[in-house]
Amino acid sequence: MKPEAQERTPLAFRVRPQPAECFDSWLDRIVRRHETSRRTLFRYLDVDSDLANYDLARGKLGLPARHHATFDRLVAGLGWAVDVDRDAVMDGFAAGPAHWLLPQVLRRYGCACCWSGLIAEGRPLYIRKDWIWSASWWCHEHQLPLSVMPAWDWPRREGSLAAMLGRLEAAAREIVRAARPTARLIAYNRAVIEFLRKGDDGVTPQRYRRYVETIVANRFHFSSERIRLLALRHSSGAQPARRFERFVALSRSELAKEGRGFFRRPQPRVEGIDIEAAIDRPRRGRRWEPDLPMLLQTYLSIAQRAEARGEPLGRPAGPEDNYGFYRSMNSASAQR
C-alpha cells in the first residue's frame, strides 16, 4: 500500500551514486539494498510505476514526451530519498542514440582491476557509464579487456569475491595474450569512448560515428564471447570476428541455405588467434549465451532498433568490411 505523502521518509539506506556510475547500476543497488523492486520504489516516491517499463539509461532522451514530468519527479524523489543533489542524479545518464548502447540486459561488463580496487577501498561494485556502450570493451586505465560482472551475491554463493575478481583479471590478460589487439586500434577506441562520454556535438569527426555504428552492426553481443570477438576485431588477425559478422548478417532464406554448415566449413588457422589452441584446454561452457530468455530479449531489442532506423535485420552480407570499419580508420590515418 502506498504511504501518504506526509508519512514518507527518506530511504533507510542512503545508497548514493558513485563517480561515473550509470543510472541503472545505481538504481539496481538501491533496489537490492532495500530488498524491493523498481515499481515499488517508484510508488513509494509517488512516481508513476509505469516508468519502470522504460529503459532509463538516457534519461529523458529515452522517454516519450508525456513522461517527462514524471521523470522530473523521479529525479527529485531519488535525490530527496538518498540526500544527493539533482546534478549527482543527472550525471548517471548517458547521452547518445539508443542503439549505441548495449541492450539493457547486457549492461554488466566492467574492469576486474577497477572492481578489485573498489573492494580494497570497501566500496560497492558498480557499472560505469563508459562501460554500457556497444563500443566499450577495454579499460584504458588498466589496459585490460572488460569482464562480466559477478552476481551481486557472489561472496555468499561461491566464496571470496576478491579471488573471483583475480580469476577474471587473469582471464582478461589471457585474451590479450591470445588475440593481441593492436595499440593503434586501442588508441582509436579510447578516442571514441571519450567522444561518447562528452556526447555527440555534431562537430566531432564523422569517423567516430562510423566506428560506433560498425560495432553496433556486428552484433557481437549475441555471443557469450563478445569481448573475445571485439579483441580479435581490434587485432591484425580479425578473420574469426569477420566470420561471425557475416553469419549474423545472413537473411532467413540465406541462413536456411548456407547457415546450417557455416561454422563447420574448414577455416584457415590463424596462428596465435585460435583461443582454444592457445590456452591448450577445452573451453568450458558454450559458445552462445545459455540463457535463452536473455538471448531472445536481446534479439528483440536489436530488431526493434533496426526497424526504427529503417534497416530491418537480415540485410544481405556485403564485402568483409562492408560496415566501413577499416575505411573509417584509413580516413583517420589520411587526416593525420
Whether 5 maps to a domain, the answer reads: no
What is the rounded CA–CA span in Å between residue 283 and residue 295?
Answer: 20
Q: Of 40, 69, 93, which closes a domain?
A: 93
**Whole-number pLDDT of residue 301:** 67
Cα–Cα distances in Å, from 91 out to 6, 61, 69, 77, 123?
A: 29, 14, 18, 16, 19
**Whole-number pLDDT of residue 280:** 35
Instruction: Report the percentage of the chain scoring pLDDT > 90.
Output: 46
204 shares a domain with 104: yes
106 shares a domain with 89: no
Neighbours of 263 (CB within 10 A): 11
Residue 89 pLDDT more than 90? yes
Whether 123 maps to a domain, the answer reads: yes
133 shares a domain with 42: no
* 114-142 mean pLDDT: 95
Whether 266 maps to a domain, the answer reads: no
223 shares a domain with 193: yes
Residue 312 pLDDT more than 70? no
**Whole-number pLDDT of residue 232:** 85
Q: Specify the amino acid at residue 184.
A: R
Residue 72 pLDDT more than 80? yes
Q: Of 70, 93, 116, which closes a domain?
A: 93
**Whole-number pLDDT of residue 279:** 32
Residue 80 pLDDT more than 90? yes
Residue 321 pLDDT more than 80? no
104 shares a domain with 54: no
**Whole-number pLDDT of residue 110:** 97
Q: Of 75, 93, 111, which closes a domain?
A: 93
- pLDDT-based confidence at residue 38 (cuts at 50, 70, 90): very high
**Residues contacting residue 197 through CB under 8 Å, at least 6 positions apart:** 129, 130
* 3-11 mean pLDDT: 69
Contact criterion met (CB below 8 Å) for 98 and 56: no
Whether 4 maps to a domain, the answer reads: no
Of the listed ranges 41-45, 80-84, 207-211, 218-222, the least confidently predicted one is 218-222
Cell 560482472, located at residue: 149
44 shares a domain with 160: no
**Whole-number pLDDT of residue 326:** 47
Mean pLDDT taken over the chain: 77
Whether 187 maps to a domain, the answer reads: yes
**Residues contacting residue 282 through CB under 8 Å, at least 6 positions apart:** 276
More confident residue, 253 or 290: 253
Whether 37 maps to a domain, the answer reads: yes
Question: Number of folded domains in the chain?
Answer: 2
181 shares a domain with 71: no
* 28-50 mean pLDDT: 95
* 227-242 mean pLDDT: 75
**Whole-number pLDDT of residue 324:** 42
155 shares a domain with 298: yes
Whether 267 maps to a domain, the answer reads: no
Residue 121 pLDDT more than 70? yes
- pLDDT-based confidence at residue 238 (cuts at 50, 70, 90): low
238 shares a domain with 103: yes
108 shares a domain with 35: no
Each residue of 129-168: pLDDT tens digit? 999 999 999 999 999 999 999 876 655 555 688 889 999 9
* 68-93 mean pLDDT: 96
**Whole-number pLDDT of residue 239:** 59
243 shares a domain with 321: yes
**Whole-number pLDDT of residue 269:** 41
The angle subtended at Cα 137 by Cα 207 and Cα 298, nearest 5°, is 95
Per residue, the 3-state secondary structure of the chain, as one string, reads CCCCHHHCCCCCCCCCCCCCECHHHHHHHHHHHCCCCHHHHHHHCCCCHHHHHCCCCCHHHHCCHHHHHHHHHHHHHHHHHHCCCHHHHHCCCCCCCHHHECCHHHCCEECHHHHHHHHHCCCCCCCEHHHCECCCCEECCCCEECEECCCCCHHHHHCCHHHHHHHHHHHHHHHHHHHCECHHHHHHHHHHHHHHHHCCCCCCCHHHHHHHHHHHHHCHHHECCHHHHHHHHCECCCHHHHHHHHHHCCCHHHHHHHHHHHHHCCCCCCCCCCHHHHHCCCCCCCCECCCHHHHHHHHHHHHHHHHHCCCCCCCCCCCCCCCCHHHHHHHHHHHC
**Residues contacting residue 200 through CB under 8 Å, at least 6 positions apart:** 95, 96, 97, 209
More confident residue, 324 or 16: 16
Residue 119 pLDDT more than 80? yes
Whether 328 maps to a domain, the answer reads: yes
Of the listed ranges 5-9, 10-14, 79-83, 240-244, the least confidently predicted one is 240-244
Domain hosting residue 122, numbered range = 99-261+272-335
What is the rounded CA–CA span in Å between residue 110 and residue 113?
Answer: 9
Each residue of 182-200: pLDDT tens digit? 999 999 999 999 999 887 7
29 shares a domain with 124: no
Q: What are phi and psi of 202, to 5 degrees?
A: 80, -5
